[in-house]
């Protein structure tokens, strides 16, 4: 599955909502489930692909990681915990109703025996990812910089230590779901599981909420960070700070913090991918005769040789003088110098006289080739 497009496996667009992904999986699971296709090896193989694809795309956090990497970082994982991804081989996906139960995030089994009716302990949840924005000067983006950042986030309530219950009390087991966090609803032949409507899927009821956090177990706060922005970032770059997002629930790992960079424009350099471009004016004599001119670089200046007869728009390149490449820290981009002719808006008498003398020796019609054999010649022939 590592090289497959998981969206294509489920037949959905990359911008599909979680509900659309769930519906597509449900339809395909019904079509290819081995219970409906006995002795059909191709249907079993297709069902494994569909299940593995939904295991990633059906989980918002896994889907985000898959979209970011452009490949499946969870290849080889088995959404059922046994069977196709296990060392014993074979297929042990369970009944069709179990597959549909997976659509709503319920966990089969538990302490209640083979029927799975026992109480299940709510699982730890990973904390939410956060985003923050920083503004950098052009030079800071090229060289890298350390910037201060204040991020609104949440942290564990110090009064209830994250339980959400008033000190001296504890959350009670939800009477509706018996602590499982899900409740089943029968729909024809199938049993559909969904988050418990009484406890919201937590498996517990807080009868006396904590007065500080109002039962949420977390309080809003602001965290201050010193962020080392790497050299070579550009407008819209995302710098990931692992584990600096919101804390996880029930002992789950924290999320990540993504710092989005905004870079001020430079009056001289323009960013072109990994490279920079500089517009360099030339006088008409410099373009005609050639010249040695001084041009700016990121670390100072250098001299370039302009060839005689240089045309407007000609580009000359200095290799390795551009910004560091984020994808390859050992190499830098280039600087492209684009020559443009500097034509004055008004001429002095001396300049007019010089241009007149020049026109006498620089005679000829440079536009003649536009009409040679073209529409102009055809018009004359007519």
Domains and their CATH numbers in the chain: 6-102 (1.10.287.110), 130-263 (2.10.230.10), 270-368 (2.60.260.20)
| CA 323 – CA 274 distance, rounded (Å) | 7
**Does residue 320 contact residue 331 with C-beta atoms inside 8 Å?**
yes
Alpha carbon of residue 335 to chain centroid: 28
Q: What is the pLDDT of residue 88?
A: 37
Residue 210, marked binder: yes
Q: What's the CA gap between 249 and 204, in Å, rounded?
A: 14
- Give the model's pLDDT for residue 369: 82
Q: Binding residue per annotation — 199?
A: yes
Return the bridge partners of 249, or none.
125
Looking at residue 110, what is its pLDDT? 39
User: Which pLDDT score, from 0 to 100, does residue 85 have?
Assistant: 38
Residues 73 and 96: their CA atoms lie apart, in Å, by: 27
Q: What is the pLDDT of residues 206-220, one digit of tens each?
A: 888 999 988 888 888
Can you state the angle between helices 41-57 and 60-69, rounded to 10 degrees?
90
The structure's pTM equals: 0.56
Residue 105 has a pLDDT of 43
- Residue 295 is labelled as binding a ligand: no
Q: Which residues contact 1 (CB under 8 A, 6 or more apart)?
A: 9, 49, 52, 53, 72, 75, 76
* 323 CA to centre of own chain: 22
Nearest to 189 by CA among 380, 49, 35: 35
Q: Is 274 annotated as a binding residue?
A: no
Q: Is 67 annotated as a binding residue?
A: no
* pLDDT on residue 303: 95
Residue 204 is assigned to a ligand binding site: no
- Rounded to whole angstroms, the Cα distance separating 102 from 95 reads 11
Residue 219 marked as a ligand binder: no
pLDDT per position as a tens digit, 41-90: 888 888 888 988 888 898 888 898 888 876 666 665 444 333 333 333 33
Query: What does R_g of the chain's alpha carbons equal in angstroms?
Result: 33
Distance separating the N- and C-terminal Cα atoms of the chain: 69
Number of Cβ within a 10 Å radius of residue 96: 16
C-alpha closest to that of 99 among 30, 10, 195: 30
The per-residue pLDDT for 367 is: 83
| C-alpha distances in Å from residue 251, one per residue of 155, 173, 232, 258, 350 | 13, 18, 37, 22, 83
Overall residue count recorded for the chain in this entry: 382
* The two structure tokens encoding residue 14: 């990359």
pLDDT less than 50: residues of the chain = 1-2, 77-120, 382
Neighbour tally for 120: CB within 10 Å: 21
Containing 270, the helix (H) or strand (E) segment is strand 270-272
In angstroms, the CA 194 to CA 200 distance is 10
Name residues whose C-beta falls within 8 Å of residue 140's C-beta, 6 or more positions apart in sequence. 147, 229
Q: What is the pLDDT of residue 252?
A: 79
174 assigned binding-site residue: yes
């Amino acid at each position: 599955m590592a090289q497959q497009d998981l969206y294509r496996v489920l037949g959905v667009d990359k911008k599909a909502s979680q509900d659309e992904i769930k519906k597509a999986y449900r339809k395909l699971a019904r079509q290819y489930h081995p219970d409906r296709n006995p002795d059909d090896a191709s249907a079993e193989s297709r069902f494994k692909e569909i299940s593995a694809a939904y295991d990633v795309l059906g989980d918002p956090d896994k889907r985000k990681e898959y979209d970011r990497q452009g490949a499946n970082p969870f290849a080889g994982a088995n959404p059922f915990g046994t069977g196709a991804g296990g060392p014993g081989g074979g297929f042990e996906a369970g009944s069709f109703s179990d597959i549909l139960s997976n659509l709503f995030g319920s966990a089969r089994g538990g302490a209640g025996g083979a029927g799975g009716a026992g109480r299940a302990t709510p699982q730890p949840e990973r904390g939410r990812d956060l985003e923050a924005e920083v503004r950098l000067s052009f030079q800071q983006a090229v060289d890298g910089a350390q910037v201060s950042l204040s991020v609104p986030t949440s942290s564990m309530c110090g009064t209830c230590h994250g339980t959400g219950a008033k000190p001296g009390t504890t959350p009670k087991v939800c009477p509706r779901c018996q602590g499982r966090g899900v409740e089943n609803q029968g729909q024809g032949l199938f049993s559909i599981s969904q988050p418990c409507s009484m406890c919201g899927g937590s498996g517990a009821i807080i009868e006396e909420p904590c007065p500080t956090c109002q039962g949420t177990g977390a309080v809003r706060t602001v965290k201050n960070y010193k962020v080392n922005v790497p050299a070579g970032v550009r407008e819209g770059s995302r710098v990931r700070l692992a584990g600096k997002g919101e804390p996880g629930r029930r002992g789950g790992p924290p999320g990540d913090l993504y710092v989005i960079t905004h870079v001020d424009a430079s009056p001289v350099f323009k960013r072109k991918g990994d490279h920079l471009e500089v517009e360099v004016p030339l006088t008409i004599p410099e373009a005609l005769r050639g010249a040695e001119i001084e041009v700016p670089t990121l670390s100072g200046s250098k001299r370039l040789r302009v060839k005689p007869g240089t045309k407007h728009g000609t580009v000359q390149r200095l290799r390795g003088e551009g910004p560091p490449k984020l994808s390859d820290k050992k190499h830098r981009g280039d600087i492209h110098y684009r020559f443009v002719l500097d034509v004055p808006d008004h001429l002095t008498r001396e300049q007019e006289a010089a241009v007149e003398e020049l026109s006498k020796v620089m005679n000829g019609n440079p536009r003649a080739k536009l009409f040679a054999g073209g529409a102009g010649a055809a018009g004359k022939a007519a």
